[in-house]
């Protein structure tokens, strides 16, 4: 390998590493504020407002949704359709699998996650935390399992809507952050036909 090529590869690698390790404190600040308020509202409903009730508002997959919706807001997986649709589709799949195969957890767990992935792909609502939402429906405690299809509405849909509303507010407070992301349409260059 010629020395020039090695030096060029080294410079490119250094640049990529430099760009990937830049710290943008404003971006981190807004990601923190948005996720803190979004999860805080859900946790308050769970533990502050209704801690003596049988209602469930806080599920683990919402933590992963916060990473996407507040930390990587331009990702296609973080967009509103994916956030809401991915959780709802996966919750429906998870509850259905739990009802069909209630006693075979070693079959129900992988079946719920795998089917939720396929149905999110089919509906174009792929949201990785949706896999956890389906898994929680199958492996959750008796309180979750007793909810049945109510699990889809609360905690899943209600929690996802809270995260979305907070994301729409906090991700748009500064001009540098725009949520939902607007897809950039590439203009096709039209060939001019000769007259």
The tens digit of pLDDT for each residue in 100-125 reads 999 999 999 999 999 999 999 999 99
- Please tell me whether residue 13 adopts helix, strand or coil conformation: helix
Kindly report the length of the chain.
195
pLDDT attached to residue 186: 53
Say how far apart CA 82 and CA 22 lie, in whole Å: 28
Say how far apart CA 145 and CA 136 lie, in whole Å: 9
- Indicate the range of 81-95, 123-137, 162-176, 177-191 predicted with least confidence: 177-191
Cβ atoms within 10 A of the Cβ of 19, count?
A: 8
pLDDT attached to residue 8: 78
pLDDT attached to residue 170: 95
Say how far apart CA 61 and CA 160 lie, in whole Å: 10
């Amino acid at each position: 390998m010629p020395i020039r090529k090695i030096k060029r590869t080294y410079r490119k690698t250094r640049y990529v590493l430099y760009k990937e390790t830049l710290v943008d404190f404003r971006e981190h600040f807004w990601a923190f504020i948005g996720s803190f308020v979004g999860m805080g509202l859900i946790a308050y409903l769970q533990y502050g407002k209704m801690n003596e009730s049988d209602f469930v508002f806080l599920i683990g997959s919402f933590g992963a949704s916060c990473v996407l919706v507040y930390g990587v807001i331009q990702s296609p997986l973080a967009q509103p359709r994916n956030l809401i649709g991915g959780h709802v589709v996966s919750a429906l799949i998870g509850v259905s699998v739990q009802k069909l195969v209630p006693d075979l957890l070693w079959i129900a767990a992988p079946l719920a996650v795998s089917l939720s992935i396929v149905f999110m792909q089919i509906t174009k609502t792929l949201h990785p935390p949706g896999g956890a939402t389906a898994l929680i429906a199958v492996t959750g405690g008796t309180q979750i399992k007793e909810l049945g299809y109510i699990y889809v509405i609360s905690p899943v849909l209600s929690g996802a809507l809270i995260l979305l509303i907070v994301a729409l507010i906090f991700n748009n407070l500064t001009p540098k952050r725009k949520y939902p992301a607007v897809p950039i349409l590439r203009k096709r260059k039209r060939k001019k036909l000769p007259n």
